[in-house]
A and B are shown apart, each in its own frame.
Chain A
């Protein structure tokens, strides 16, 4: 470290200013980063006088008599002290501190701000941190390394929240901004290698500039920019990841013998009699039922049937799936970036290719990315930036799907039997029962085409491809009117073209099924209504978006006063179009098709009804438009005191409430105090400290709630008589207002003088008024639910982001500690009183007055009684009246466990550097939350053969109630009993967990200074480790993967560098 302290001193490069020298000695020059970018607001100190560099990195400091040296410092960079020997302007190049994650500038999407001067709460993730992990997906790389950003596996899908859940409306997904404009395209199209940095806007001062769209927070993605350098700089990154074959056998599942036992019980009770007697539609039954049936008819003896069932019991479909359907996934990624240029012209070109052979045999994904970005200084005042981004993604699916997919189901809702077999001992594909009874299908061969379904054979007969072409063009013109004013006009055109193509060959099950159904057999003549050939489904989607922005920027300073401001207007329009259609008689070999009659009714096989050949034509389209006016103003005094304010107003064409149209101005204000710049501050010991605070609002609008009654047209092709119709749109609510999220934030940024400890602490209070939420209505109104301003909520929380370097010798040990907390409570409920049953579940979406948001609520659990029946409590007394328990339980009788969204979360990352080696390990944690695990439902077990691993723990004989909560088997099933148990406190688990999430190892290969090779790194990464170091729940259920199938880790190896 001490050595590097002196390394910061670097030579002079060019002359920029040539003012005549005054009598007093001055120090003038420019502060640049190692990449040659000007550093704004770097602190330049000479004795008692100090100044800050301007936007171009320039500074001009009057030196006190007797002073002949200046020191230049900037957060995240090594401070430099240099002698001012003569009148020549200096170029001070600062080197970043090793391992520093927070570099200088943060982007709000409207302007770049030096973090040092920003009053808001920003989190910046730089390229090095983005590159710490691998994978095709950008957002995943932010997981567990970004303070305040929660990735959380919710009950339905993975959610991303900034500072917890502020709103309950819609998906709560943050706004994604890509290079200054909101990005509505597919996130999977973004290649992480194209991104230079990500900024997460956490508080009002940071996010309010996005107004009504910032309600769920904002994530700003900034692409790599063209850099200066006469010699082209070529960067590369190649890596390959391998993920082991899915561990299906490790997934808990109801025992095969138990499933056969249940089927036998059902068979004996006559549950399959109607199906077996059905001579019209011949519904499918499982192999066990077929064996039992043949035993009953005498086709099998008692012993033969027992042997056949025993043979079934020895099977496990998961073994076949592991062997024939799954494979290790391989992901290859190649990325190349070339950039360089001069003051007048700079360029960047990048290309990337991703190839992903996913875990199912026959499925793969590919992506190609190209990007070009050029900046031309046309005149001294006018600068143009032109760029293009082209992405092409291709997906191909030939497999029938993962274990448990619909394609393997026996019939409409009945699951695949766990003893199903996909292939015989030689690997020859076997038929599984589907839709129709196999025993019957064997008899129709002579008249019809083979009607059996062999999932593995179908892999060669179906081909689903999805293709997405995306083009983004942007143009920015910056014009400097004067030293104070500059203006810019930005325009972006975005186009997405998607094509989904599903081809079912003549021999695919899908084609054979439709062909057979419509085959007309009269005596010995066979007529095909649906051509005896393949079927092609195609869907085309097109999206085009125009975004334009005109912005005026002002920067002025006089003495200790500095002022900067932006104001602008923005228009956005995004149009989408979708069309789909089906071609019958398609042959991929000859590229021919045949006509088919979609109008007339035809008698169908295995049914005595007539039907039309299914039509698959559809069209839809959307058009969204937004206009916005915004401003942001900053002021600072002496480079020590900062003030900022922003305001914005949005309007849109959404058939919304009137307030959508006229918009509500949203604003924020903030201040910052650089304590360490005060003379009294012991900077030599404590280093740099600053205190900031902000207050302001962001909004959330209900895009789907109209002010007036709307109708939605239904195409004639979807209606039974080929006549058009319409349905009512969402219930109108003209009095709906915007949700307003107010946030007050206070933060401390610190970095000790020896840089051993640095980080930031933020505390926030949040108050959301008129929270948009779903309110259930009296069903008599005809409206089940409406979006209303349902509640006021208040919350608080904090974000801690600390970096500590306990060892800084040859071995460098760096600890990064992230802790975030977020809590919010419903202070006032505006809607109609709701029933207790509306709150019970896996995290209430409805606000519960006086309680935390997203509360997991349950029916109180009184255990099992001596008959194995679940017991609850009603009006203080034990009850087994499940209907009454479900409908008459009071809101105050429920058990409220806690929030379903973790209120505490974060990560602890340890980085060890030794020579060129870096080893890093991240542990993430989520605390204080609850989740509802799935429960055994006898209703679904009996009707859909949906087993549950806890079947083996069910109550079976008196006394079992002492150790189990799983109710006894009862036939016929009682839905309300099943439901009560599933929603009782017995099925809620604590989610608290500590997880080893990833490991990374990098080696920086020494390169000769000045050689062709500038940098070379070899790295390995283990992601998705999913090793639970600790969990609060005593069940061994991983809260992130409650169904039991925990993904295997993926291991990557790669090389990156530049020349």
Chain B
């Protein structure tokens, strides 16, 4: 009897203590607790969350680069239809909030986990992981700001509502809106830190220092701080300035592979959606009319449809039809630098910068360098070239927002849908998208 009790006790002891090892085995062979900076880097390498078919279509569909026929528009989802006519105040729609804050969360998990890994991986690895997480978080905030905040105006940014800035991955922290000033400060500070941490040489599928500088330049441009924007465009160009010569592109306009395109700093593209493939999406006539003869940006990257309209097929992301490129590339740096120089009155240097880009975009035989007399004339030229260079690149919406604060440059785009004209005037509240009703209801933050 005693012996039996003893055996039983031993068995119980064995199961409850001795089997700790038995219970330490991983339940899923693909699942792990991240144990090293390399594991965290894998999260940021997940191109399906950060770059590949992932960024929002909002900034493209709201742009005036293209138009849809009524027949096409009538068949699309309500969200695309609404974006197209700048109906951005419907809180029943999620204009990208959930998707973008998911990226913020992933970056925050990485930033929260990294300090606990000081003993693993090399210092360089840890720096790259931290830099990439800061970079991607800043980029998500940039994209969010373009959709959900009023265009940045330095005069009232400190009282304008900004984004919710999530400092860590703890979901129990309540959401609170920062000011627009704080939002942009967070973005620029994070990017400056990322630029210091990120390695100089990377491929286009991981952010490097040049990409961080380029995004900084883009952000300052958005804030209207042209001197800073120009400075960071210079910094980026000092690292990467190679351009593709469109003279060497095949007539079909297919660009080189992502990894072989010297202009790409960071490849990324929007979600796949057939409404923006070349079946439906037609180049806006006013954009089309600005191309001169010999401009390969039209002749090679666009394609004449049977009905006389043009389709865009020259995505910087070679292997895509149902999405557009939204990443960072060197050509954007040239037009940004040119604009900043011209705005600072350095017309000659500005035009020189612009022509360095344009000579690679035009048929060599037909290229005539651009010249300008006054800074205003120069700015008009630079902005026109900016539009042609960055057409179908997801940048037009941000530019429209920026110009809406500058009366002399303001554009009033129009849409014609089923016989009704929609206009987007400067200062229009539809420049600021509504935050999803679900977010308002659950977090209590103020609606735009």
Question: Given the known A-B contacts A274-B72, A721-B205, A972-B73, are A780 and B166 also in contact in the complex, defined by CB atoms under 8 Å?
Answer: yes
State how many angstroms separate the Cβ of A397 from the closest Cβ of chain B. Answer: 29
Assess whether A661 is in contact with B23, with CB atoms less than 8 Å apart.
Answer: yes
The answer to whether the Cβ of B98 comes within 8 Å of any Cβ in the partner chain is: yes
A609 touches B279 (CB 8 A): no
Q: Among B24, B105, B112, find the residue whose CB has the most chain A CB atoms closer than 10 A.
A: B105
In contact, A571 and B19 (Cβ under 8 angstroms): yes
Q: Is B75 an interface residue (CB 8 A)?
A: yes
The CA of A552 and the CA of B9, in the complex, are separated in Å by 11
Q: Nearest Cβ distance between residue B373 and chain A, in whole angstroms? A: 43
Tell me, in angstroms, the Cα distance from A976 to B437 when the chains sit together. 14
**B26 — which chain A residues lie within 8 A by C-beta?**
623, 653, 655
Q: Given A623-B25, A782-B166: A569 and B15 within 8 A (CB)?
A: yes
Contact with B along A586-614 (1 / 0, CB 8 A): 00000000000000010000011111000
CB–CB B106/A782 < 8 A: yes
Looking at chain A's contact residues, the main secondary structure is mixed
Residues of B433-448 contacting chain A, CB below 8 A: 436-439, 441-443, 445
Complex Cα distance, B8 from A1056, in Å, reads 47
For B378-399 the 0/1 string (1 means CB < 8 A from A) is 0000000000000000000000
Q: Tell me if B109 counts as interface (CB < 8 A to partner A).
A: yes
Q: Are B321 and A270 within 8 A (Cβ)?
A: no
Q: Which residues of A contact B112 (CB under 8 A)?
A: 709
Are B101 and A781 neighbours in the complex by a CB distance under 8 Å?
Answer: yes
Known: A277-B279, A610-B319, A714-B46. A835 touches B442 (CB 8 A): yes
Q: Which residues of B contact A406 (CB under 8 A)?
A: none
Contact partners of A654 in chain B: CB under 8 A: 27
Do residues A571 and B22 form an inter-chain contact, with CB atoms below 8 A? yes
Q: Which of A569, A611, A622, A780 contacts B443 (CB 8 A)?
A: A780
Q: Quick one: which of A272, A568, A625, A782 contacts B169, CB cutoff 8 A?
A: A782
Q: How far is the CA of A280 from the CA of B307 in the complex (A)?
A: 15
Among A188-196, A199-207, A287-295, A725-733, which stretch is in contact with chain B? A725-733
Q: Is residue B339 contacting chain A, with contact meaning CB distance below 8 A?
A: no
A281 at interface by CB-CB < 8 Å = yes
Q: Flag if B101 contacts A277 (CB, 8 Å).
A: no
Please name the residue on chain B nearest to A570 by beta carbon. B15
Provide the bound-state CA to CA distance between A622 and B25, in Å: 10
Q: Are A485 and B32 in contact (CB under 8 A)?
A: no
B254 engages A779 (CB within 8 Å): no
Q: Which of A608, A627, A727 contacts B313 (CB 8 A)?
A: A608
Q: Which of B14, B22, B32 contacts A713 (CB 8 A)?
A: B32
Given A709-B109, A943-B75, A976-B78; A721-B47 close (CB under 8 Å):
yes
Interface centre among A281, A712, A723, A883 (most CB of B within 10 A): A883
Best-buried of B1, B29, B112, B306 by chain A (most CB within 10 Å) = B29
- CB of B114, distance to nearest CB on chain A (Å): 11
Chain A residue contacts of B22, Cβ below 8 A: 571, 573, 625, 627, 653
Task: Report the nearest A residue to B71, measured CB to CB.
Answer: A270
Which residues on the B side are within 8 Å of A972 (C-beta)?
73-75, 81
User: Does residue B370 face the partner (Cβ distance < 8 Å to A)?
Assistant: no
The answer for the CA separation of A273 and B282 in the assembled complex, in Å, is 13
Task: Name the residue on B nearest A573 (C-beta).
Answer: B22
Cβ contacts under 8 Å, B81 to chain A: 972
Interface centre among A274, A571, A783, A837 (most CB of B within 10 A): A274
Chain B residues within 8 Å of A273, by CB: 69, 71-72
Roughly how many angstroms separate A655 CA and B27 CA in the complex, as a whole number? 7
| A713-B26 Cα distance, complex, nearest whole Å | 13
Whether the Cβ atoms of A655 and B31 lie closer than 8 Å is: yes
Q: Which residues of A contact B78 (CB under 8 A)?
A: 939, 974-976
Q: Which of B9-45 contact A (CB under 8 A)?
A: 11-12, 14-16, 19, 22-34, 39, 42-43, 45
**In the complex, what residues of A have CB within 8 A of residue B445's CB?**
780
Task: For chain B, residues 415 to 448, give those with C-beta under 8 angstroms from any C-beta of chain A.
Answer: 436-439, 441-443, 445
Residue A959 at the chain B interface, CB threshold 8 Å: no
Residues of B within 8 A of A279 (CB): 306
Please state if A833 and B306 are interface contacts (CB–CB under 8 Å): no
Task: Flag whether B243 is at the interface (Cβ < 8 A).
Answer: no
For residue A784, which residues in chain B have a CB less than 8 angstroms away from its CB?
98, 102
Is A779's CB under 8 angstroms from B97's CB?
Answer: yes
Q: How far is the CB of B13 from chain A (nearest CB, A)?
A: 10
Q: Which residue of A lies closest to B26 (CB)?
A: A623
**A586 nearest CB across to chain B (Å):** 28
Q: Is B175 an interface residue (CB 8 A)?
A: yes
A948-B266 Cα distance, complex, nearest whole Å: 47
A886 CB contacts on chain B under 8 angstroms: 92
Given A622-B28, A655-B33: A274 and B104 interface contact (C-beta under 8 Å): no
The docked-state distance in angstroms from the alpha carbon of A571 to that of B438 is: 46
**How far is B27's CA from A714's CA once the two chains are assembled, in angstroms?**
16
Tell me how far the C-beta of B234 lies from the nearest C-beta in chain A, rounded to whole angstroms: 30
Output the nearest chain B residue to A720 by Cβ-Cβ distance. Answer: B52
Given A270-B70, A274-B279, the answer on whether A711 and B4 have CB atoms closer than 8 Å is no
* Most chain A C-beta atoms within 10 Å of own C-beta, residue among B74, B278, B319: B74
Which of A552, A568, A624, A837 is in CB contact (< 8 Å) with B4? A552
Interface string of A391-413 (1 = CB under 8 A from B): 00000000000000000000000
- Cβ-neighbour of B28 out of A283, A652, A712, A776 (below 8 A): A712
Per-position 1/0 for B164-177, Cβ under 8 A of A = 10100101010100
The answer to whether A184 has its CB under 8 Å from any CB of chain B is no
Q: In the assembly, what is the distance between CA of A550 and CA of B24, in Å?
A: 22
B189 at the interface (CB under 8 A from A): no
9 additional contacts (CB under 8 A) given A622-B27, A723-B205: A269-B71, A274-B72, A274-B280, A568-B11, A629-B16, A719-B46, A720-B47, A782-B104, A782-B106
Q: Which residues on B are within 8 Å of A, measured CB to CB?
A: 1, 4, 7-8, 11-12, 14-16, 19, 22-34, 39, 42-43, 45-49, 52, 69-75, 77-78, 81, 90-94, 97-98, 101-106, 108-109, 112-113, 164, 166, 169, 171, 173, 175, 205, 252, 254, 257-259, 278-280, 305-307, 313, 318-321, 436-439, 441-443, 445
In the A-B complex, the 5 residue pairs with the closest CB atoms: A782-B105, A270-B71, A726-B42, A887-B437, A621-B29
**Chain A contact residues, CB within 8 Å of chain B:** 266, 269-275, 277-281, 283, 481, 485, 487, 550, 552, 567-571, 573, 601, 607-611, 619-625, 627-629, 649, 651-655, 661, 706, 708-714, 719-721, 723-729, 731, 776-784, 786, 832-835, 837, 882-884, 886-888, 939, 942-943, 971-972, 974-976
